[in-house]
């Protein structure tokens, strides 16, 4: 059995912004699921928030879960050439929740 695995890798990160300072939110705090033999966070479960239309549900969820933040930045972190250039990292804001 052979697999064609690409050279790129990416994941989502969420930052809460308070008083103009962004703070990375641990994905385990966002999803708070109990592990059943495996860790969904390390299996990149948070990547689904980058799907089109997910901001409509995810933004209100973040506001309810973390009311002390003024806004949220949902970012995509990409390693475009993981084997050739493992230190090349591109991070872009996918969308902003809040003000």
pLDDT by residue for the chain (99 residues), tens only, comes to 666 678 888 999 999 999 999 999 988 888 876 656 556 666 688 899 999 899 999 999 999 999 999 999 999 999 998 888 889 999 999 999 987
Per-residue confidence (pLDDT) for residue 7, from 0 to 100:
84
Tell me what pLDDT residue 15 has: 98
Residue 2: its pLDDT value, please? 65
Question: What are the residues facing 95 on neighbouring strands?
Answer: 74
Provide the pLDDT for residue 92.
97
DSSP state, residue 25: E
Q: Supply the pLDDT for residue 1.
A: 62
Predicted pLDDT at 91: 96
Compute the distance between CA of residue 99 and CA of residue 33 in angstroms, rounded to an integer: 29
């Amino acid at each position: 059995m052979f697999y064609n695995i690409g050279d790129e890798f990416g994941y989502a990160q969420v930052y809460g912004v308070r008083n103009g300072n962004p703070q990375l939110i641990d994905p385990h705090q966002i999803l708070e699921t109990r592990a059943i033999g495996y860790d969904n966070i390390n299996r990149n479960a948070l990547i689904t928030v980058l799907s089109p239309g997910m901001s409509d549900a995810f933004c209100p969820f973040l506001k309810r879960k973390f009311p002390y933040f003024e806004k949220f930045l949902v970012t995509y972190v990409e390693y475009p050439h993981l084997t050739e250039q493992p230190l090349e990292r591109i991070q872009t804001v996918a969308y902003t929740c809040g003000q």
